[in-house]
Amino acid sequence: MKKLISCGLVFAGMLSTSLIAQTYVSDFVNGPITDRPVRILQTNSAGDDVYIFDPATMEQVGYIENLPHNHGATVHADGTHYYFTNEHDNTVDVVDTRTFEVTKRIPLASGPHNLSASMTARKIYVAIIAEPLIQVIDMDTNEIIANIETGGGVHNTFVTPDGRYAVGGMIGASEIIAIDTETDEVEWEMSIPYSQNPFTGGVRPLTFSTNEDGSTRSLLVNVGGWHGFWEFDWETQELMNKISPPEDAWDRMDQTADGIQSAPSHGVVVLPDHSQVWHSSRATSHIYGYSFPDYEYIGRVYIGNPAWITTTPDSKYLWVGVSGHNETAVVDIEKQEVIKRFPVGQAPKRIFTAIMPVDWEGEVQ
């Protein structure tokens, strides 16, 4: 039986709009995203279930069981299946998007973390944290077709908004690797120099900004030990900006040590309309917003130990995994306040916006 939970409201104190310009949304494929069905996938890193929400109705519409220690999430280019990394069994679990049944478990070389998909290349890039490796899955066969060696165990993979490159971020090696999704060859590699940040805890979540033609402009990277994010030029890999909340935007009363793990910020998102950037703060239990591309501080919203952030295609709402409270929070960006909280599973962190095909029929009720 599907487990559905409804909750009341809780209030607390561009470039082309046809392109999704941040990490936790499937890349642009098969026409504009306007009026396409959208689903928010909330994984639970210490649990065995996944919660699915319809952002149009602000309701839970799905519940997937039997996914132990699920971590990353993505969706098939045709909308037929979801994919989740399973840290307990060292697999990628394939789930029917209409019935929520697990249809296949794809064995991996070792323990995974996150995964990300190129809809244009029809491939999934799986971060292997227990080995220096990214494994590539063909969506049409659900088989591993490539093994890409890296400089260290890979914490996260992310695909650029145009689907052309898969990017892996490493904690221990403090490196970023970019892979051409057509050939699966390494395009470039870069490291986070110790001299630039002596407190570096490696590469954590990252996202992208784009140029007017949809190509990638820059990477926005949560760097371990840094409260905020750094911006790097995509073509040159040169550091462009270091962004952190202004001193008067947080104080000692805000600070918490709950689950920081050397990463005071662990989630960053560029709105699809490229008007703003938001990042999470484990250190202060808030999320912080800035205008883009000038990075003027615009405000903060109390969440309570926020983890990853995703956004709706209309750039109106942020959805945040609240790992310390076993909740998913919905933030109205214009109002800068939480408008809804959903109870979910144990330690919700990674959260993903799945944009479905126009003719997708939806869940079986």
- Taking residue 171's Cβ as centre, other Cβ atoms within 10 Å add up to 22
Question: Which is it for strands 38-44 and 50-54: parallel, antiparallel or unpaired?
Answer: antiparallel
Q: What is the pLDDT of residue 4?
A: 41
Tell me which amino acid residue 96 is: D
User: How far, in Å, CA of 6 to CA of 40, rounded?
Assistant: 15
Degrees, nearest 5: CA angle 264-170-313: 70
- Is 240 inside a domain boundary? yes
Q: How confident is the model at residue 358 (pLDDT cuts 50, 70, 90)?
A: confident
Q: How confident is the model at residue 2 (pLDDT cuts 50, 70, 90)?
A: very low
Alpha-carbon Rg for the chain, nearest whole angstrom, is 18
Q: Smallest Cα–Cα separation from 208: which of 276, 297, 269, 122?
A: 269
- Is 9 inside a domain boundary? no
DSSP calls for 80-144:
SEEEEEETTTTEEEEEETTT--EEEEEE-SS-EEEEEEETTTTEEEEEETTTTEEEEEETTTTEE
- Is 19 inside a domain boundary? no
To the question of pTM greater than 0.85 for the whole model, the response is yes
- Is 12 inside a domain boundary? no
Range(s) of the domain holding residue 118: 38-355
User: How far, in Å, CA of 85 to CA of 105, rounded?
Assistant: 10
Question: Which is it for strands 239-243 and 229-233: parallel, antiparallel or unpaired?
Answer: antiparallel
Is the separation of the CB atoms in 224 and 200 below 8 Å? yes
User: How far, in Å, CA of 83 to CA of 102, rounded?
Assistant: 10
- Is 134 inside a domain boundary? yes
Is the separation of the CB atoms in 81 and 96 below 8 Å? yes
User: How far, in Å, CA of 201 to CA of 182, rounded?
Assistant: 31
Q: What is the pLDDT of residue 199?
A: 65
Q: What is the pLDDT of residue 212?
A: 87
- Is 231 inside a domain boundary? yes
Q: What is the pLDDT of residue 258?
A: 53
Report, as an integer, the average pLDDT of 225-243.
95
Query: The domain spanning residue 245 has which CATH number?
Result: 2.130.10.10
pLDDT (tens digit per residue) in 139-172? 999 999 999 999 999 999 999 999 999 999 999 9
- Is 237 inside a domain boundary? yes
pLDDT (tens digit per residue) in 66-86? 999 999 999 999 999 999 999
Report, as an integer, the average pLDDT of 232-240.
96
Report, as an integer, the average pLDDT of 127-146.
97
- Is 2 inside a domain boundary? no
Q: Assign residue 228 a region (left: φ > 0; alpha: ψ between -120 and 50; beta: otherwise).
A: left
What total of structural domains would you count in the chain? 1
